[in-house]
Structure 1
Amino acid sequence: MPSEIDSLLRSPKAYQVARKVLDAMESHRVWPTALNFELWLHYVAAKDSEVAAKIDSVLQSGGTFTDQLGEQIAAQHLPAAKLSGEILDAGKSLSEELDSVSRAIESARETSEAYGQQLATASESLVDQDADAVRAMVETLSVATRKVREENQALESQLADTTEELTRLRESLAQVRRDAMTDGLTNLSNRKAFDESLERACAEAEASGQPLTLAVVDIDHFKIFNDTWGHQTGDQVIRYVASVIGRIADAPRFAARYGGEEFAVIFPGETPETAVTAMEAARAEISSRILKRRSTNEDLGAITISSGIAQRRPGEAPATLIESADRALYASKHAGRNRTSVAEHGSPPRGASRAA
């Protein structure tokens, strides 16, 4: 459902839908905060969603939609809010586990210190003592020894349990991070993951002196296609293109959905020549297939892509590299689309057009 909403907001109907959302909020005296707008967007545009059902339930019961209620619904049903909640829950559990271990270690330390003091006192007291006094002292030490042993056993058991729990929490947090960095429609990395990866790749290239190349990709005439066949079929096309781009981006290459119908591929340690080879292979595969509409099996025709490629120059920031690749992408579109262009950095690779 989030992908359908996202597609709707990129369609020509976006402003019309937005006005309907604001009208609905105003009629129910709901403040137009960003969170409330997102919730009521689901209510207006996705009537079969869980968010819409929750809002309907409140309205039908005569209740008032408050900001607090909106936050509760968002925490339960909106992906971003749920994700934040999962991170907070995992962090809270981790903190509680560490506090528990800290208390157990402190208790064991105090018991060990007391035991050491008892041993020192016993050593001094045993001098010139009779047998009864020695037996009493030995009994006291025996009790203290058992207590220390029990404390250590309890601590060992708790540490084992905590180690297991920390492993589970690390796995949970790793999964949450993967979810936060993954595009829900295509399963490629998302824009946030791309920004982080490009920043890291630029830093590594600057330190090593190795080349770094970036390709940005756009589905040709996607808006017309989307308006003609609908958003669900448009999403089908985006997923298909993403699957092809994903296959040419094995590690250390990095592919991401940059936004809408745009994608990006990072080529660490590679020059534009190899990037062009990869992107031309993807372009050829995508354009060679006649797609069919999944729901009706109608022929959708062939899809084509345009790409822009740029190599990072020493000292160049990630944003500047993106701008160079974007200019090359514009050159591909200006030259008729369905092609790959390389930014003006030295000689263009064979078979590729030159971007101004």
Structure 2
Amino acid sequence: MVFTLPMLKYIVSKINSDIIQLLILNYYCLLIGNFLNAIIIKNPLRDINIYLHLYVISTILVFVLYYMINDIKKMQKKATHDYLTKMKNRSEFQAKLEVLQKKKKIFSLAILDIDYFKVFNDSFNHLVGDLVLLEVSKVLLSFEGNKINCYRIGGEEFSLVFEEINFVEVENKLEKIRLAVQKINIDEMLLDGEVRGITVSIGVSHIKTFSNIENYISSADDALYKAKENGRNQLVVGK
């Protein structure tokens, strides 16, 4: 085992298929057991039927467990992610804020809204609206990382949570997001018609003190409304 385990680990790490990895580990464990059994009873062919049954049964169990785990993962993802954009949903957003509040971590909360989104649906159709949502979500997800989480919290509304990142850096990243969205061009994806430019309004609140979670959201929301009142396509920092 001392010599074979490191080799097995290296081989398994090179395989992309989860099911193949599980099968290799399963057969490895059985082989070790067979080897030890053969040494003890000194007759490796004595229990050959038992060995064969173990290999067949364990293989079936590996496949059953693999598909059960996959189904559970799919169900979990449906419950925690938005069906269209595949971004984390509002329940995950609320859960994240609760964790940050309990840990008393300084963070920034941004709420982003697509400007004149209703016009996309009314002037074209809901498929174009979905395409706009997908393109904006791609931009947001390109900024996601260990300390930046993105969520779709409503129709055309998104949120970003920045954990323990310098407030000036947060604002710079949000400006980059705003400019990146502004560069989206979906005209070439459509068979006909020209879509007006896509822009977003962003409100951000830097959380330094801890209170009710709704206060955090309200603060960022107020900043978002100011951005819209001031002409949209801009970032406003809340109090």
Note whether the superposition's TM-score is higher than 0.5: yes
What is residue 170 of structure 1 aligned with on the other side? Answer: 69
User: What whole-Å deviation, never above 9, does each CA across 1:165-223 have from its counterpart, x for those lacking one?
Assistant: 4454334312210122121111111222222222223323x1xxx42111100001111
Q: What is the CA RMSD across the aligned residues, in angstroms? A: 2.6
The equivalent residue for 2:139 is 244
Which residue does 1:196 correspond to in 2?
95
Distance in 1 (CA, whole Å) between partners of 2:93 and 2:219 is 16
Corresponding residue for residue 335 of structure 1: 230
Identify the residue that residue 281 of structure 1 maps to in structure 2.
176
Residue number in structure 1 paired with 2:150: 255
Q: Check 1:336–1:160 CA distance in 2 against 1; reply closer, same or farther (3 A cut).
A: same
Q: CA deviation at 1:234?
A: 1.1
SS in 2 for 1:301: coil
Q: Which has the higher contact order (CA 8 A, sep 6+)?
A: 2
Q: Compared with structure 1, are the counterparts of its residues 159 and 289 closer, same or farther at alpha carbon in structure 2 (3 Å cutoff)?
A: closer
Q: Is the 8 A contact 1:202 1:212 kept in 2?
A: no
Alignment of 1:123-202 (within 5 A): 165-166=64-65, 168-202=67-101
Q: How does 1:300-315 map to 2 (within 5 A)?
A: 300-315=195-210
Quote the Cα distance in structure 1 between the aligned partners of 2:235 and 2:177. Answer: 11
Partner amino acid, structure 2, of 1:191: R
Task: Check 1:230–1:161 CA distance in 2 against 1; reply closer, same or farther (3 A cut).
Answer: closer
Question: Which residue of structure 2 lines up, in the alignment, with residue 234 of structure 1?
Answer: 129
Q: Structure 2: how far apart are the matches of 1:301 and 1:290?
A: 9
What is the SS of the residue equivalent to 1:300?
coil
Q: 1:341 and 1:213 mapped to 2: Cα distance? A: 13
Equivalent residues of 1:215, 1:309 under 8 A apart = yes
CA contact (8 A) 1:182 1:190 kept: yes
**1-structure distance, mates of 2:127, 2:208:** 40
Q: Tell me, yes or no, if the aligned pair for 2:227 and 2:236 is still in contact at 8 Å.
A: yes
**Structure 1 residues 232, 164: CA separation in 2 closer, same or farther (over 3 Å shift)?**
closer
The equivalent residue for 1:272 is 167
Residues 75-86 of structure 1 mapped to structure 2, 5 A cutoff: none
In structure 1, what is the Cα distance between the partners aligned to 2:228 and 2:164? 27
Whether the aligned pair in 2 keeps the contact of 1:226 and 1:234 (CA below 8 Å) is yes
Q: Does the aligned pair in 1 maintain the 2:147–2:165 contact within 8 Å?
A: no
Question: Contact 1:291–1:301 (CA<8 Å) still a contact in 2?
Answer: no
Quote the Cα distance in structure 2 between the aligned partners of 1:294 and 1:203.
45
Distance change (3 Å), C-alpha of 1:293 and 1:233: farther
For 1:264 and 1:165, the matched residues in 2 are separated by 38
Q: Is the 8 A contact 1:190 1:257 kept in 2?
A: yes
SS in 2 for 1:202: helix
**Larger Rg computed on CA atoms:** 1
Q: CA deviation at 1:156?
A: 11
Task: Provide the rounded CA distance (Å) in 2 between the counterparts of 1:164 and 1:289.
Answer: 44
- Shift in Å at residue 162 of structure 1? 5.7
Q: Is the 8 A contact 2:135 2:184 kept in 1?
A: no
Percent of matched pairs sharing the same residue: 28
Q: Which AA in structure 1 matches 2:170?
A: A
Residue aligned with 2:112, SS = strand
Unaligned runs of at least 5 residues, structure 2 = 1-52
Q: In proportion to residue count, which structure has more helix?
A: 1
Matches within 5 A, 1:95-134: none
SS in 2 for 1:244: helix
Check the 8 A contact 1:309/1:343 in 2, yes or no.
yes
For the residues of structure 2 that align with 1:168 and 1:186, how far apart are their CA atoms?
A: 25
Check whether the contact 1:283–1:338 (CA below 8 A) recurs between aligned residues: yes
| Partner SS, residue 302 of structure 1 | coil
Instruction: Tell me the CA shift for residue 288 of structure 1.
Output: 2.6
Q: Which consecutive aligned stretches of 4+ in structure 1 deviate over 4 angstroms post-superposition? A: 154-168
